[in-house]
Chain A
Amino acid sequence: MNIIRSTFGALLAGSLLASASVAAEGAQAGKKVIFLGADDICEYCAVYNDQIRKLAAEKGIDLEVVTNKFDPAQQATQVDQAIAKRPDAILLWTIDGTALFPAMRKVQRADIPLLLTDVQPDKAREDLWVQYTGGNYEEQGSKSAQLLINALEAKGKPLEGGVIMITGIVGQAQTISMTKGFTETLADLAPNLEILGAQPGNWDTGTSTQAAAGLFTKYGDEIVGVYAAEDIMMQGVLIAAERAGLDPTEMAMVGGGCEPVGIKNIKAGLQYGTVLQSPVDEATYAVQSIVDLFNGAEMSKSVYVPHPMVTAENVDEVCQPWPTN
């Protein structure tokens, strides 16, 4: 916790102060980049925002961070604003997968290079941006399915029975992609594992607890595995399992994100594994993307952060604790 900040000014315009004079090498130094990102209310986003401010300052990039309360309409107007400021580049975290194509077309027409981070929109439109760096949600869902199968094998169980899913907020692009990746891979690799039910956990522990509790009541012993799209939602599943008198170590419990609570549960043996998506990696890749852009490096359309599967064996190497301020 960070109760005391030096000045209210720092609070107001942390980005402007953070990018103060640091002598840095390269053509990116001094370039003005506007980052349209997400609100600190989501922990992942808060870590990302802190990291990208820090890393951009190290490279001498004049980065301005604009946050958004998960409102695509607001973000579309933020794009208009950003264009009005004529920056050297715009880095965009699209709050909602595809809502911003029209806005991206405006950026293109204004001749401002566009980089994307965290959410990858439909690749059919990739002529609109220079490069996407960040997570691959479909791959994450797919890896989670693989991990769930590994878990059953590790526990010496047959690849048959019921699986339940706790997803993110219905309608979000990430939720749609993760669900697609998970269900398709599971159907491919283990056709005898049946998805009995899916409920949204809204990226929230409490909602996930209730959703999982309902599914445990209905399906009980039929369930051999649970996929929760985020570790913080898996925490809710574990609470519900304990209340239902089910032993989580006997089931294939798979989360996502390598979040602090997930690390804790994996070490305690309650959760079998998770799939890494690190805000530190994503912010690092995004800053590298900016550096490459201004230094004329060759840039491919998509660069994905690594999504290794994580279990108790490699949790300490792979999952670095999230830095605090």
Chain B
Amino acid sequence: MSSKGNSGTIVFALVVTTLSAALLAAAATILKPAQDENVLKEKQQNILSLVGLNGPNDYKKFEELVQGVVIDDQGTPVQGVEAISLDLALEKKLKSKNPAYKVRYPLYIYKDQQGKVTYLLQMAGVGLWGPIWGYLALDQDGNTVKSAIFDHKGETPGLGAEINTDGFEKQFNNKKVLNEQGQFVSVKVEKGKHDASMPHTVDAISGGTITSNGVSKMLQEDIAFYLKYIQQNPNNQAL
């Protein structure tokens, strides 16, 4: 192969790029199943960790431990789609592009050995730089938050990225989403003076205002959606 002249250069470049592309395409195809499995496993582990099931192998029993329900905006269960395979962020994106789109939410119901029900909610929202998401455990009464976890794609380290730390997440334990009149008020992430006894607010992250607001908005929107189903099924006949 000549290293001089334009044709030699172009041929060389074509050969190199074609080989590279073929190699990468092959690698991506071969490794895809293993990567997808990791993502699914992480999701299952996240959901189970809400009710304290943190064992390394608990996710293998995911199907037995929790029951998934897909609900529509009227709070009625939708058939024909599995909760775990529903992409909530995609649902919300479709909804924002087309207001007529009927958005669906995945809900997981966990029943402990005493038969007490915990609702495990999946949430999706937007932070400062990209998607944020979270999972929240709501008590049988449809009011008390038992635990919450959050994560993000690329919030600023030390600022918005703090939403996935214990310090932030633990604040949500025992918060209420309904006020004394039983109306939905959500849990808000707010700056300012706080003490742990305030039922509807948690302390925001300093320097992470936009991410904090994103979390607030996500909680407000998504908990309201799930409550329709939870309030229509107070004794949870679904189980």
Q: Do A and B bind each other?
A: no
Q: B: which residues have CB within 8 A of A?
A: none
